[in-house]
Amino acid sequence: MHLLDLDDKVAAAAIAAAGTVIGAIIQLKIAWRKEMSERARGAPVTKKTRRGPVVAVGLLLVAAAVGGFALSQYFIARSDRESAAVRGELQSQLQQINATAERLERATMHDGEAAGRAQGGRTGVETVAVAATVEPCHARADAGHDAPAECSEAEAVRVTLCTSVRSSSVVTNTLLYARPDESHQPWDDSRVAAGQDLGHARFPDEPFERPDAEQMKQVCANFNSWDSGKSYSARLVVKYINVAGSELSSASLVPTSGVAR
């Protein structure tokens, strides 16, 4: 224990306790010698003589209490200093962690910006749709029969649904829909796959792309109907990503055979 490490009041209490202990020990030694001398002379021991050790013991107890107080204050002060050192170390580590997090965040933002530039400025997924109503087919009537003849697939009404986007766009998905014209079924429930037989109609193949005007291209899908009794509604939805800036898109219906409206 170093007195320089203690508070002024604690140091004073420790010094006082030490002085009291030394004084009490000296007093006990004097009282002991006096009592031994009186016993050697054969003189009776009086109450005043006996009072000396009692006072010295009392002083020792007081000194012990003061010393204990000083010692407890020393340990409290030492614990506070250790706690302050731990808090300082934790704050330093926290500052380092925050600085590292900020550097990582800046690096992540920089990498994201670089990735965006590398992708040529993609702006997100856009959607465009085109729909058409295909009239019933008209097959040649057999001689001698008044009833309307059924069409074969070779006599189907064929249309091509197309939508135009910039040639730099990336098509991410194409969705096909078909339903009888008089149906009130929602489009979401009328989704079909390429080649799926709808009874007397279908999209015969997958959607495809083809060049259009300068810096443009078309995304198209063929639809065939050989139903002589009802019309069909066909729909093509194209999802794509704009590249290198925004773009205008248009939709068109290109009939290849038969009548469409």
- pLDDT the model gives residue 219: 95
Q: Are residues 108 and 154 in the same domain?
A: no
State which amino acid sits at residue 105: E
pLDDT: is 144 or 14 the higher one?
14
- pLDDT the model gives residue 58: 67
Alpha-carbon distance of 102 to 219, in angstroms, equals: 46
Q: Are residues 41 and 19 in the same domain?
A: yes
Q: Are residues 130 and 253 in the same domain?
A: yes
Q: Are residues 112 and 129 in the same domain?
A: no
Q: Decide if 145 is inside a domain.
A: no
- Enter the pTM of the model: 0.48
Q: Decide if 212 is inside a domain.
A: yes
Q: Decide if 131 is inside a domain.
A: yes
The total of structural domains in the chain comes to 2
Q: Are residues 170 and 241 in the same domain?
A: yes
| Residues 136/237, Cβ–Cβ less than 8 Å | no
| Residues 207/201, Cβ–Cβ less than 8 Å | no
Q: Are residues 252 and 164 in the same domain?
A: yes
Enclosing domain of residue 46: 3-118
CA 191 to chain centre: 35
Q: Are residues 171 and 109 in the same domain?
A: no
Q: Are residues 210 and 186 in the same domain?
A: yes
- The predicted-structure confidence for 81-124, as pLDDT tens digits, reads as follows 888 888 888 888 888 898 888 888 888 877 666 665 555 455 57
Q: Are residues 112 and 203 in the same domain?
A: no
Mean pLDDT (whole number) for 66-80: 73
Q: Are residues 156 and 82 in the same domain?
A: no
- pLDDT the model gives residue 180: 92
Q: Are residues 129 and 110 in the same domain?
A: no
pLDDT: is 116 or 17 the higher one?
17
- The predicted-structure confidence for 171-229, as pLDDT tens digits, reads as follows 999 999 999 988 888 999 999 999 999 989 999 999 999 998 888 999 999 999 999 88
